[in-house]
Amino acid sequence: MTKMLTPGATIGILGGGQLGRMLSVAASRLGFTTHIFEPGANPPAGHVAHRVTTAGYDDAVALAEFAASVDVVTYEFENIPTEALDLIEATRVIRPGRRVLAISQDRIIEKTFLNDLGLATAPWAEVTDAASLDAAIARIGTPAILKTTRLGYDGKGQARIMAPADAPAALAAMEGAPAVLEGFVTFSAEISVIAARGADGAVSCFDPGENVHKSGILHTTTVPARISEGLRTDAVLIAARILNALDYVGVMGVELFVTPQGLLVNEIAPRVHNSGHWTQAGCAVDQFEQHIRAVAGWPLGDGARYADVEMLNLIGDDVARVPEFARQPRTQIHLYGKAEAKPGRKMGHINRVL
Protein backbone atom coordinates (compact mmCIF):
# COMPACT_ATOMS: atom_id res chain seq x y z
CA MET A 1 0.00 0.00 0.00
CA THR A 2 1.24 3.42 -0.88
CA LYS A 3 1.27 5.87 2.00
CA MET A 4 -1.47 8.49 1.61
CA LEU A 5 -0.60 11.99 2.78
CA THR A 6 -3.18 13.10 5.29
CA PRO A 7 -4.95 16.46 5.11
CA GLY A 8 -2.84 19.10 6.79
CA ALA A 9 0.30 17.84 5.06
CA THR A 10 2.26 20.30 2.91
CA ILE A 11 2.93 19.94 -0.81
CA GLY A 12 5.93 21.85 -2.13
CA ILE A 13 5.59 23.18 -5.66
CA LEU A 14 8.57 24.33 -7.72
CA GLY A 15 7.40 27.20 -9.92
CA GLY A 16 4.80 29.84 -9.14
CA GLY A 17 3.02 30.43 -12.45
CA GLN A 18 -0.61 29.76 -13.31
CA LEU A 19 -0.14 26.00 -13.20
CA GLY A 20 1.25 26.24 -9.67
CA ARG A 21 -1.66 28.50 -8.81
CA MET A 22 -4.29 26.03 -9.98
CA LEU A 23 -2.41 23.14 -8.33
CA SER A 24 -2.45 25.10 -5.06
CA VAL A 25 -6.20 25.63 -5.28
CA ALA A 26 -6.75 21.92 -5.90
CA ALA A 27 -4.43 20.99 -3.03
CA SER A 28 -6.26 23.36 -0.68
CA ARG A 29 -9.59 21.77 -1.60
CA LEU A 30 -8.18 18.42 -0.50
CA GLY A 31 -7.09 19.91 2.82
CA PHE A 32 -3.38 20.26 2.06
CA THR A 33 -1.26 23.35 2.41
CA THR A 34 1.15 24.40 -0.33
CA HIS A 35 4.57 26.00 -0.32
CA ILE A 36 5.69 27.62 -3.59
CA PHE A 37 9.37 27.99 -4.53
CA GLU A 38 9.79 30.62 -7.22
CA PRO A 39 12.65 32.94 -8.20
CA GLY A 40 10.38 35.69 -9.62
CA ALA A 41 8.63 38.28 -7.46
CA ASN A 42 4.84 38.26 -6.94
CA PRO A 43 4.14 34.88 -8.57
CA PRO A 44 0.53 34.06 -9.55
CA ALA A 45 0.60 30.96 -7.33
CA GLY A 46 1.69 33.04 -4.35
CA HIS A 47 -1.73 34.68 -4.15
CA VAL A 48 -3.39 31.37 -3.27
CA ALA A 49 -0.59 29.36 -1.64
CA HIS A 50 0.03 29.17 2.08
CA ARG A 51 3.69 30.02 1.82
CA VAL A 52 6.09 31.34 -0.81
CA THR A 53 9.86 31.21 -0.91
CA THR A 54 11.33 33.77 -3.29
CA ALA A 55 14.80 32.49 -4.14
CA GLY A 56 16.85 31.27 -7.07
CA TYR A 57 17.37 27.61 -7.94
CA ASP A 58 21.05 28.14 -7.08
CA ASP A 59 20.23 29.09 -3.47
CA ALA A 60 21.15 25.91 -1.60
CA VAL A 61 20.07 27.22 1.80
CA ALA A 62 16.63 28.27 0.54
CA LEU A 63 16.16 24.94 -1.26
CA ALA A 64 17.09 22.97 1.87
CA GLU A 65 14.69 25.01 4.01
CA PHE A 66 11.95 24.60 1.42
CA ALA A 67 12.45 20.82 1.31
CA ALA A 68 12.46 20.59 5.12
CA SER A 69 9.13 22.43 5.32
CA VAL A 70 7.17 20.13 2.97
CA ASP A 71 6.11 16.48 2.87
CA VAL A 72 6.51 15.92 -0.87
CA VAL A 73 7.71 18.04 -3.79
CA THR A 74 6.22 18.48 -7.26
CA TYR A 75 6.74 21.05 -10.00
CA GLU A 76 4.85 23.02 -12.59
CA PHE A 77 7.59 23.31 -15.22
CA GLU A 78 10.33 21.04 -16.46
CA ASN A 79 13.44 23.20 -16.65
CA ILE A 80 14.54 22.87 -13.04
CA PRO A 81 18.34 22.75 -12.76
CA THR A 82 19.72 19.32 -11.90
CA GLU A 83 21.67 20.64 -8.88
CA ALA A 84 18.45 21.98 -7.34
CA LEU A 85 16.80 18.57 -7.77
CA ASP A 86 19.81 16.88 -6.15
CA LEU A 87 19.52 19.13 -3.12
CA ILE A 88 15.80 18.50 -2.69
CA GLU A 89 16.04 14.77 -3.30
CA ALA A 90 18.57 14.47 -0.51
CA THR A 91 15.64 14.81 1.90
CA ARG A 92 12.31 14.65 0.03
CA VAL A 93 10.61 12.65 -2.68
CA ILE A 94 10.00 14.51 -5.95
CA ARG A 95 6.97 13.43 -7.96
CA PRO A 96 7.04 12.96 -10.93
CA GLY A 97 10.56 11.56 -10.59
CA ARG A 98 13.92 12.65 -11.96
CA ARG A 99 14.11 10.49 -15.06
CA VAL A 100 11.26 12.18 -16.86
CA LEU A 101 12.81 15.59 -16.25
CA ALA A 102 16.09 14.52 -17.84
CA ILE A 103 14.07 13.24 -20.80
CA SER A 104 11.73 16.18 -21.26
CA GLN A 105 14.42 18.83 -20.79
CA ASP A 106 16.16 17.76 -23.99
CA ARG A 107 14.34 17.17 -27.28
CA ILE A 108 16.95 14.67 -28.52
CA ILE A 109 16.84 12.54 -25.36
CA GLU A 110 13.03 12.77 -25.52
CA LYS A 111 12.75 11.63 -29.13
CA THR A 112 15.26 8.83 -28.54
CA PHE A 113 13.24 7.64 -25.53
CA LEU A 114 9.98 7.73 -27.52
CA ASN A 115 11.44 5.97 -30.56
CA ASP A 116 13.02 3.30 -28.31
CA LEU A 117 9.53 2.65 -26.92
CA GLY A 118 8.39 2.00 -30.49
CA LEU A 119 6.47 5.29 -30.68
CA ALA A 120 6.61 7.35 -33.87
CA THR A 121 7.83 10.96 -33.97
CA ALA A 122 8.48 13.37 -36.84
CA PRO A 123 11.73 12.41 -38.61
CA TRP A 124 14.58 14.18 -36.80
CA ALA A 125 18.33 14.68 -36.79
CA GLU A 126 20.76 16.26 -34.37
CA VAL A 127 22.28 19.58 -35.51
CA THR A 128 25.39 21.13 -33.99
CA ASP A 129 26.81 23.19 -36.87
CA ALA A 130 26.37 24.14 -40.54
CA ALA A 131 27.69 20.81 -41.82
CA SER A 132 25.36 18.68 -39.65
CA LEU A 133 22.45 20.95 -40.64
CA ASP A 134 23.20 20.45 -44.35
CA ALA A 135 23.40 16.69 -43.78
CA ALA A 136 20.11 16.75 -41.82
CA ILE A 137 18.35 18.70 -44.60
CA ALA A 138 19.71 16.28 -47.20
CA ARG A 139 18.22 13.36 -45.22
CA ILE A 140 14.94 14.88 -43.98
CA GLY A 141 14.22 17.40 -46.73
CA THR A 142 12.25 20.65 -46.51
CA PRO A 143 10.07 22.10 -45.19
CA ALA A 144 11.49 21.41 -41.77
CA ILE A 145 11.75 23.07 -38.35
CA LEU A 146 14.97 23.67 -36.48
CA LYS A 147 14.47 23.70 -32.69
CA THR A 148 16.87 24.23 -29.81
CA THR A 149 17.14 20.93 -27.92
CA ARG A 150 16.68 22.65 -24.53
CA LEU A 151 14.64 25.44 -22.97
CA GLY A 152 12.11 25.89 -25.78
CA TYR A 153 8.44 26.53 -25.10
CA ASP A 154 5.44 28.07 -26.86
CA GLY A 155 7.24 28.03 -30.21
CA LYS A 156 10.31 29.86 -28.86
CA GLY A 157 13.75 28.74 -30.05
CA GLN A 158 12.31 27.51 -33.36
CA ALA A 159 13.01 28.46 -36.98
CA ARG A 160 11.26 27.21 -40.12
CA ILE A 161 13.36 26.05 -43.05
CA MET A 162 11.17 26.23 -46.15
CA ALA A 163 14.08 25.67 -48.56
CA PRO A 164 17.77 24.76 -48.07
CA ALA A 165 18.67 28.44 -48.63
CA ASP A 166 16.99 29.25 -45.27
CA ALA A 167 19.49 27.07 -43.39
CA PRO A 168 22.09 29.73 -42.38
CA ALA A 169 19.45 32.08 -40.95
CA ALA A 170 17.77 29.24 -39.04
CA LEU A 171 21.11 28.13 -37.60
CA ALA A 172 21.90 31.71 -36.57
CA ALA A 173 18.53 31.87 -34.76
CA MET A 174 19.69 28.99 -32.50
CA GLU A 175 22.44 31.33 -31.20
CA GLY A 176 24.97 28.53 -30.98
CA ALA A 177 22.72 26.22 -28.91
CA PRO A 178 22.51 22.52 -29.85
CA ALA A 179 19.47 21.90 -32.04
CA VAL A 180 17.35 19.25 -33.67
CA LEU A 181 15.94 19.37 -37.18
CA GLU A 182 12.42 17.99 -37.47
CA GLY A 183 10.65 17.20 -40.71
CA PHE A 184 7.54 19.37 -41.07
CA VAL A 185 4.50 17.21 -40.34
CA THR A 186 1.38 17.84 -42.39
CA PHE A 187 -1.14 16.96 -39.73
CA SER A 188 -4.92 16.97 -39.98
CA ALA A 189 -5.15 17.86 -36.29
CA GLU A 190 -3.12 18.33 -33.15
CA ILE A 191 -4.42 16.48 -30.11
CA SER A 192 -3.19 15.88 -26.61
CA VAL A 193 -3.83 13.32 -23.95
CA ILE A 194 -3.64 14.41 -20.34
CA ALA A 195 -2.76 11.23 -18.51
CA ALA A 196 -2.34 10.43 -14.85
CA ARG A 197 -0.60 7.61 -13.04
CA GLY A 198 -0.97 7.00 -9.35
CA ALA A 199 1.69 5.86 -6.92
CA ASP A 200 -0.07 2.46 -6.98
CA GLY A 201 0.50 2.20 -10.75
CA ALA A 202 -3.11 2.87 -11.78
CA VAL A 203 -3.43 4.87 -14.99
CA SER A 204 -6.29 7.18 -15.93
CA CYS A 205 -6.34 9.22 -19.13
CA PHE A 206 -8.59 12.17 -19.83
CA ASP A 207 -10.37 12.15 -23.17
CA PRO A 208 -8.05 13.48 -25.94
CA GLY A 209 -8.54 17.17 -26.70
CA GLU A 210 -8.08 18.86 -30.06
CA ASN A 211 -5.67 21.80 -29.98
CA VAL A 212 -5.38 24.87 -32.19
CA HIS A 213 -2.24 27.01 -31.89
CA LYS A 214 -1.76 30.64 -32.91
CA SER A 215 1.77 31.99 -33.33
CA GLY A 216 3.12 28.88 -31.59
CA ILE A 217 0.92 29.39 -28.50
CA LEU A 218 -2.08 27.22 -27.63
CA HIS A 219 -5.27 29.07 -28.62
CA THR A 220 -8.09 26.59 -28.02
CA THR A 221 -8.59 23.02 -26.84
CA THR A 222 -11.88 21.35 -27.72
CA VAL A 223 -13.28 18.08 -26.45
CA PRO A 224 -14.17 15.70 -27.85
CA ALA A 225 -11.44 15.76 -30.49
CA ARG A 226 -12.79 15.03 -33.96
CA ILE A 227 -10.94 11.74 -34.41
CA SER A 228 -11.98 8.14 -34.96
CA GLU A 229 -12.54 5.75 -32.06
CA GLY A 230 -9.47 3.86 -33.22
CA LEU A 231 -7.24 6.92 -32.95
CA ARG A 232 -8.76 7.82 -29.59
CA THR A 233 -7.74 4.40 -28.30
CA ASP A 234 -4.28 4.69 -29.88
CA ALA A 235 -3.74 8.09 -28.25
CA VAL A 236 -4.63 6.80 -24.80
CA LEU A 237 -2.51 3.67 -25.23
CA ILE A 238 0.50 5.78 -26.28
CA ALA A 239 0.16 7.97 -23.19
CA ALA A 240 -0.27 5.01 -20.86
CA ARG A 241 2.77 3.29 -22.38
CA ILE A 242 4.91 6.38 -21.72
CA LEU A 243 3.71 6.67 -18.10
CA ASN A 244 4.32 2.99 -17.37
CA ALA A 245 7.77 3.00 -18.97
CA LEU A 246 8.77 5.85 -16.64
CA ASP A 247 7.09 4.42 -13.53
CA TYR A 248 5.56 7.90 -13.52
CA VAL A 249 3.57 9.41 -10.67
CA GLY A 250 1.47 12.48 -11.50
CA VAL A 251 -0.15 14.07 -14.53
CA MET A 252 1.55 14.31 -17.91
CA GLY A 253 0.60 16.10 -21.12
CA VAL A 254 1.31 14.14 -24.31
CA GLU A 255 1.02 16.18 -27.51
CA LEU A 256 0.33 14.25 -30.70
CA PHE A 257 0.02 15.01 -34.41
CA VAL A 258 -2.77 13.23 -36.31
CA THR A 259 -1.43 12.20 -39.72
CA PRO A 260 -2.58 9.81 -42.46
CA GLN A 261 0.07 7.37 -41.13
CA GLY A 262 -1.37 7.50 -37.62
CA LEU A 263 -0.27 9.38 -34.51
CA LEU A 264 3.15 10.98 -34.09
CA VAL A 265 4.28 12.14 -30.66
CA ASN A 266 5.30 15.81 -30.74
CA GLU A 267 6.37 16.24 -27.15
CA ILE A 268 5.67 15.24 -23.58
CA ALA A 269 5.33 17.59 -20.61
CA PRO A 270 5.79 16.03 -17.13
CA ARG A 271 3.19 18.23 -15.47
CA VAL A 272 -0.32 19.52 -15.71
CA HIS A 273 -0.78 21.05 -19.14
CA ASN A 274 -2.52 24.02 -20.72
CA SER A 275 -4.42 21.68 -23.03
CA GLY A 276 -5.90 19.97 -19.95
CA HIS A 277 -7.60 23.05 -18.51
CA TRP A 278 -10.92 21.95 -20.05
CA THR A 279 -11.07 19.19 -17.42
CA GLN A 280 -12.03 21.88 -14.87
CA ALA A 281 -15.43 22.10 -16.57
CA GLY A 282 -15.69 18.66 -18.15
CA CYS A 283 -14.85 16.17 -15.41
CA ALA A 284 -15.68 15.44 -11.79
CA VAL A 285 -11.96 15.38 -11.00
CA ASP A 286 -9.84 17.79 -13.07
CA GLN A 287 -6.16 17.51 -14.01
CA PHE A 288 -5.05 19.61 -11.04
CA GLU A 289 -6.83 17.50 -8.44
CA GLN A 290 -5.69 14.37 -10.26
CA HIS A 291 -2.07 15.50 -10.05
CA ILE A 292 -2.31 16.38 -6.36
CA ARG A 293 -4.00 13.03 -5.65
CA ALA A 294 -1.17 11.17 -7.41
CA VAL A 295 1.58 13.19 -5.72
CA ALA A 296 -0.07 12.71 -2.32
CA GLY A 297 -0.34 8.95 -2.82
CA TRP A 298 -4.13 9.04 -3.03
CA PRO A 299 -6.12 6.88 -5.44
CA LEU A 300 -6.75 8.63 -8.77
CA GLY A 301 -10.16 10.23 -9.16
CA ASP A 302 -12.77 9.73 -11.85
CA GLY A 303 -11.60 11.62 -14.93
CA ALA A 304 -14.45 10.52 -17.20
CA ARG A 305 -15.66 13.39 -19.40
CA TYR A 306 -19.31 14.36 -18.84
CA ALA A 307 -19.51 17.47 -21.06
CA ASP A 308 -18.27 18.85 -24.37
CA VAL A 309 -16.00 21.79 -23.61
CA GLU A 310 -14.02 24.46 -25.42
CA MET A 311 -11.10 26.04 -23.58
CA LEU A 312 -9.97 29.42 -24.90
CA ASN A 313 -6.69 30.94 -23.70
CA LEU A 314 -6.73 34.64 -22.87
CA ILE A 315 -3.42 35.88 -24.22
CA GLY A 316 -2.25 39.47 -23.65
CA ASP A 317 -5.04 41.95 -24.40
CA ASP A 318 -7.65 39.15 -24.73
CA VAL A 319 -8.11 39.62 -21.02
CA ALA A 320 -9.97 42.86 -21.77
CA ARG A 321 -12.82 40.66 -23.05
CA VAL A 322 -13.55 39.26 -19.58
CA PRO A 323 -16.68 41.47 -19.06
CA GLU A 324 -18.09 39.99 -22.27
CA PHE A 325 -17.30 36.41 -21.17
CA ALA A 326 -18.77 37.14 -17.75
CA ARG A 327 -22.18 37.64 -19.38
CA GLN A 328 -22.04 34.35 -21.30
CA PRO A 329 -23.86 31.28 -20.03
CA ARG A 330 -22.06 28.00 -19.26
CA THR A 331 -18.73 29.82 -19.18
CA GLN A 332 -16.11 29.38 -16.49
CA ILE A 333 -13.54 32.18 -16.14
CA HIS A 334 -10.06 31.56 -14.77
CA LEU A 335 -7.73 34.52 -14.31
CA TYR A 336 -4.15 34.16 -13.15
CA GLY A 337 -3.73 37.42 -11.24
CA LYS A 338 -0.98 38.76 -13.50
CA ALA A 339 -0.71 42.53 -13.32
CA GLU A 340 0.44 43.38 -16.82
CA ALA A 341 -1.09 42.05 -20.08
CA LYS A 342 2.06 41.75 -22.21
CA PRO A 343 1.75 40.38 -25.77
CA GLY A 344 1.99 36.58 -25.77
CA ARG A 345 1.47 36.38 -21.98
CA LYS A 346 -1.07 33.85 -20.71
CA MET A 347 -3.41 35.95 -18.57
CA GLY A 348 -6.21 33.44 -18.05
CA HIS A 349 -8.55 31.07 -19.86
CA ILE A 350 -12.22 30.36 -20.17
CA ASN A 351 -13.97 26.99 -20.34
CA ARG A 352 -17.18 26.99 -22.29
CA VAL A 353 -19.48 24.03 -21.79
CA LEU A 354 -20.88 23.37 -25.28
Stated as kind and residue range, the H or E segment containing 135 is: helix 130-140
Nearest distance, CB of residue 32 and ligand AMP, angstroms: 31
39, 97, 155, 224: which one binds ligand AMP (CB under 6 A): 155
User: Which residue, 67 or 180, is less far from ligand AMP as judged by CB?
Assistant: 180
Q: Which is nearer to ligand AMP, 71 or 76 (CB)?
A: 76
- Tell me the C-alpha to C-alpha distance, in Å, between residue 71 and each of 5, 94, 250: 8, 10, 16
38 interacts with ligand AMP by CB under 6 A: no
Smallest distance from the beta carbon of 274 to ligand AMP, in angstroms?
11
Q: Tell me if residue 103 falls in helix, strand or coil.
A: helix
Report d(CA 73, CA 335) in Å as an integer: 25
Cα–Cα distance for residue pair 119/46, rounded to 1 Å:
39
Q: Is 109 in the site for ligand AMP (CB under 6 A)?
A: no
Among 38, 110, 182, 234, binds ligand AMP (CB under 6 A): 182
Phi, psi of 8 (to 5 degrees): 105, -20
Decide: 36 and 16 in contact? Cβ < 8 Å: yes
Site string for ligand AMP, 215-254 (x = CB under 6 A): -x--------------------------------------
- Asked if 313 is part of the footprint of ligand AMP (rule: CB under 6 A), the reply reads no
CB distance 17 to 44 below 8 Å: yes
Of all residues in the shown chain, the one whose CB is closest to ligand AMP is: 185
Find the binder of ligand AMP among 184, 316, 319, 325 (CB under 6 A): 184
Q: What angle do CA 304, 239, 147 make, to 5 degrees?
A: 125
Q: Select the span of 67-75, 168-176, 180-188, 298-306 touching ligand AMP (CB under 6 A).
A: 180-188
Q: Is 327 exposed, middle or buried (0-12, 13-18, 19+ CB in 10 A)?
A: exposed
Q: Least distance to ligand AMP from the beta carbon of 209, Å?
A: 13
**Binding positions for ligand AMP, rule: CB under 6 A:** 122, 145, 152, 155, 182, 184-185, 190, 213, 216, 255, 266-267
